[in-house]
Amino acid sequence: MRVAIYPGSFDPITYGHLNIIERGARLFDKLVIAVAHNVKKQSLFTVEERLDMIRETTQDFPNVEIDAFSGLLIDYANSKNACAVLRGLRSLSDFDFEFQMALMNHRLNPDIETVFLMTGEEHLFVASQLVRELGSFGGDISGLVPPLVHDRVKEKFK
Ligand code: PNS
């Protein structure tokens, strides 16, 4: 059973994330979407709210599991018997951070590989941060997130 962890903030989940989830779920027997409790990052949605949106938008994937974690990602991946960490790459600006994280995680546990998928070209510019910013100014986010997430973002800024 090949298990991969897809970790992130998912604040909120976007079409870019869903593109990676759909493709990742085809590559592995089980894909665990893991929402990080990140004390350093100020979030728009609580972890529970984020899990809820992920649950509702990934119902069609039978081999996808949803969870939250705190502490080191590599420890969490270990506890799930994962062979890989899955991450999406959009641009060169993502690369620095991702490369650093992949090398560090590899140092901590060389048995767990980081697997990168290039984001679908239609999602190159989609980022949760942009969704939050657009949402806060009443901008149109309908092409960036599923309708359910769209409504939750709108509600937050009402
Ligand atoms: O969606 P994000 O914010 O880019 O996700 C970053 C995340 C949550 C994957 C990363 O910050 C993480 O792995 N945090 C857990 C703590 C950890 O393991 N840090 C060391 C990474 S080398």
What is the per-residue pLDDT across 4-42, written as a single tens digit (0 to 9) for each?
999 999 999 999 999 999 999 999 999 999 999 987 888
Asked about 132 being catalytic, the answer comes back as no
45-86 pLDDT tens trace: 999 999 999 999 999 999 999 999 999 999 999 999 999 999
Q: Which of 41, 93, 107, 158 is catalytic?
A: 41
Q: Is the CB of 73 under 6 A from ligand 1?
A: yes
Asked about 90 being catalytic, the answer comes back as yes
Q: Is the CB of 128 under 6 A from ligand 1?
A: no
Q: What percent of the chain has pLDDT over 90?
A: 90
Under CATH, which architecture does the 3-156 domain have? 3-Layer(aba) Sandwich (3.40)
Asked about 17 being catalytic, the answer comes back as yes
Residue 40: per-residue pLDDT: 80
pTM, two decimal places: 0.96
Residue 84: per-residue pLDDT: 98
CA distances, 72 to each of 27, 59, 79 (Å):
24, 27, 11
Residue 80: per-residue pLDDT: 98
Q: Which of 9, 17, 43, 132 is catalytic?
A: 17
Atom of ligand 1 nearest to the CA of 7: 9
Determine the Cα–Cα distance for residues 23 and 117; give it in Å rounded to an integer: 8
Q: Where are the domains of the chain?
A: 3-156
State the average pLDDT for the chain. 96
* Sign, Cα dihedral of 31, 110, 11, 93: negative
Determine the Cα–Cα distance for residues 112 and 89; give it in Å rounded to an integer: 18
Determine the Cα–Cα distance for residues 135 and 22; give it in Å rounded to an integer: 25
Q: What percent of the chain has pLDDT over 70?
A: 100
79-114 pLDDT tens trace: 999 999 999 999 888 899 999 999 999 999 999 999
Residue 91: per-residue pLDDT: 85
128-151 pLDDT tens trace: 999 999 999 999 999 999 999 999
Using an 8 Å Cβ cutoff, are 5 and 82 in contact? yes
